Chains A and B, each alone.
Chain A
Amino acid sequence: GAGVSQSPSNKVTEKGKDVELRCDPISGHTALYWYRQSLGQGLEFLIYFQGNSAPDKSGLPSDRFSAERTGGSVSTLTIQRTQQEDSAVYLCASSLEGLMNTEAFFGQGTRLTVV
């Protein structure tokens, strides 16, 4: 596609339910990143993929969070047993190479609300 696409754009879920957030990066971009922006907070790093591998998943806040990437393309961020503190905008970005060499292109984000 022309840009990074995220779905859904908005998700309201009940506490305790599992959610899956999807990211379609720009075609050909080998690097993919997930970030989170909580209300009133700055952006925080969650996980970074190079191809299908995740060299850095240090930002995942708990073992309820997981992510995978298949075919070097689409990535899914899964949050199990959602809690109210998980409410945030989840942003995905991709770049042609790593962020040392190329700029990142961001999706519009998924706004997750846990009620």
Chain B
Amino acid sequence: KNEVEQSPQNLTAQEGEFITINCSYSVGISALHWLQQHPGGGIVSLFMLSSGKKKHGRLIATINIQEKHSSLHITASHPRDSAVYICAVRSYGGSQGNLIFGKGTKLSVKP
């Protein structure tokens, strides 16, 4: 079993829909990251969380440390949101860069 599990693996949505991507992890963590990888391969860091909730534009990330679960929400989705969304965690005792990655959720937003 992977230490970081994402669901769904693939998601197709219509423009304007509210989207939720889930991330569950089995290790104690000190931080969780959400990353976005575009079809060209470039990766952008969206959020870094250790507790609570963060919002940036149409994106919202939440984390529940007790339940070892995080969600990434996209409101009013748009075709340009189409990308792979990756959850990554830094485990307790792990070094600053030693992230454990989920396999990603491929999102396709249709116009």
Contacts and interface: CB of A to CB of B under 8 A. Distances in A.
Contact of B98 (A59, A103, A106, A111): A59
Nearest to B35: A106
Main secondary structure of the interface of A (DSSP, over half): strand
Contacts of B95: 48, 55-56, 58
Contacts of A45: 97-100
A21 to B, nearest CB: 15
Contact of B41 (A35, A56, A59, A109): A109
B107 to A, nearest CB: 16
Interface of A: 31, 33, 35, 41-45, 47-48, 50, 55-56, 58-59, 89, 91, 93, 98-100, 102-106, 108-109, 111
Interface stretch (B14-22, B43-51, B59-67): B43-51
Contacts of A105: 45
A45 B47 CA distance: 19
State which size class the interface on B falls in: 20 to 34
Most buried by A among B35, B99, B101: B99
Contact of A108 (B33, B35, B41, B103): B41
A43 B101 contact: yes
A54 to B, nearest CB: 10
Given A43-B86, A100-B30, A100-B31, A106 B44 contact: yes
B88 A43 contact: yes
A45 B35 CA distance: 15
Contact of A42 (B40, B43, B90, B104): B104
